Amino acid sequence: MGATKTGLFSKKQNELAAMAKALAHPARIAILQVLVKTNACVCGSLVDELGLAQATISQHLKELKQVGLIQGTIEGTSVCYCINPKAWLQYKEFFAMFFKELPENKTCC
Amino acid sequence: MGATKTGLFSKKQNELAAMAKALAHPARIAILQVLVKTNACVCGSLVDELGLAQATISQHLKELKQVGLIQGTIEGTSVCYCINPKAWLQYKEFFAMFFKELPENKTCC
DNA sequence: AACATTAATCGTAATATTGCAATGAATAGA
DNA sequence: TCTATTCATTGCAATATTACGATTAATGTT
């Protein structure tokens, strides 16, 4: 027990859940917002911006990288992170799609 | 350690993360999809639809209820669940807002 | 080469989540 | 009342997540 039973659900459902999970932490939300706002890249200054330890930030960055939402390129000793525009758009569309179909006829509850 | 340091982040950031967390499980995605599709309410038939135990489904329903995404009204011995249209719309708008600002000028990475 | 800086990784602890059997509470029907 | 049905809750085990100090790897600087 304890592990999510992914086998019970469709690929899409697991995918959407994984996308949501990537956003399911305020630090990752904050990181993405900083990356969007600064437009250009932000390197390790995220550690200063947010109040978390370097190891913790690095871990969150890794997760965001794993789901493809951000990219990182080495720039000397530091690493330059930025939003992956393609993935960003896909996320936007996925969530829009999911919430699109509004239950109009509220016949119950 | 181990607990999310919510104090470091803004209310909005924590809110969005909480919203994402509610969607961060395929079972909850599936439940919401069933509730949207059936339009009317679905009671305990969710246990048959998805392959999870009754207690597990009940727990997921509780979480969805706690974030306001669904409502449940008692109907005899069974409970009728349905989407909360207001919250649904709010979620839609929140996520759309978050993903709205696309990084146009991709000058880096 | 020696040192400093930056960031990933490792190891560990604390906490949260997932899942289910068992139990409990409430109502419907006999 | 007794029983069946439906769902919430409790208690527990397994797993996942969050966080950080310490270490490591890589590069830049002197």
Q: Is A104 domain-assigned?
A: no
Alpha carbon distances (Å) from B22 to A16, B29, B31, B108 = 12, 9, 12, 33
pLDDT at B103: 57
Q: Is A103 domain-assigned?
A: no
- Give me the CA A35–C1' D9 separation in Å, rounded: 43
Q: Is B50 domain-assigned?
A: yes
User: Which residue is the nearest neighbor of D29, CA to C1'?
Assistant: A77
Residues of A within 8 A of B38 (CB-CB) are none
Question: Cβ contact (<8 Å) for A105 and B81?
Answer: no
Q: What are the contacts of B57-62 at 24+ separation with CB within 8 A?
A: B57/B27, B57/B31, B60/B25, B60/B27, B60/B28, B60/B31, B61/B31
Positions in chain B short of pLDDT 70: 39-40, 103-109
- Give me the CA A58–C1' D30 separation in Å, rounded: 29
Residue A107 reports pLDDT greater than 90: no
Q: Is B5 domain-assigned?
A: no
Q: Is B38 domain-assigned?
A: yes
Residues of A within 8 A of B39 (CB-CB) are 103, 105, 107
Q: What is the pLDDT of residues A24-48, one digit of tens each?
A: 999 999 999 999 988 667 767 899 9
Q: Is B53 domain-assigned?
A: yes
Q: Is A109 domain-assigned?
A: no
The whole-angstrom distance between A41's CA and the closest CA on chain B is 7
The CATH number given to whatever domain includes residue A35 is 1.10.10.10
Residues of B within 8 A of A41 (CB-CB) are 108-109
pLDDT at B39: 66
pLDDT at A55: 96
Domain carrying residue B42: 10-94
Q: What is the pLDDT of residues A90-105, one digit of tens each?
A: 999 999 999 987 756 5
Q: For chain A, positions 54-93, list CB contacts with chain B under 8 A.
A: 71-73, 80-83, 85, 88-89, 91-92
From the list B10, B81, B96, the residue facing A96 with the nearest CB is B96
pLDDT at A76: 87
Percentage of chain A exceeding pLDDT 90: 75
- Residue B91 in tokens: 């979620």
- Give me the CA A18–C1' C19 separation in Å, rounded: 19
The whole-angstrom distance between A62's CA and the closest CA on chain B is 16
CA atoms within 13 A on the CB side of A72: 18
Residues of A within 8 A of B20 (CB-CB) are 20-24, 29
pLDDT at B57: 97
What are the residues facing A73 on neighbouring strands?
A80
Q: Is A106 domain-assigned?
A: no
For chain A, how many structural domains are there in total?
A: 1
pLDDT at B107: 57
- Give me the CA A79–C1' C6 separation in Å, rounded: 8
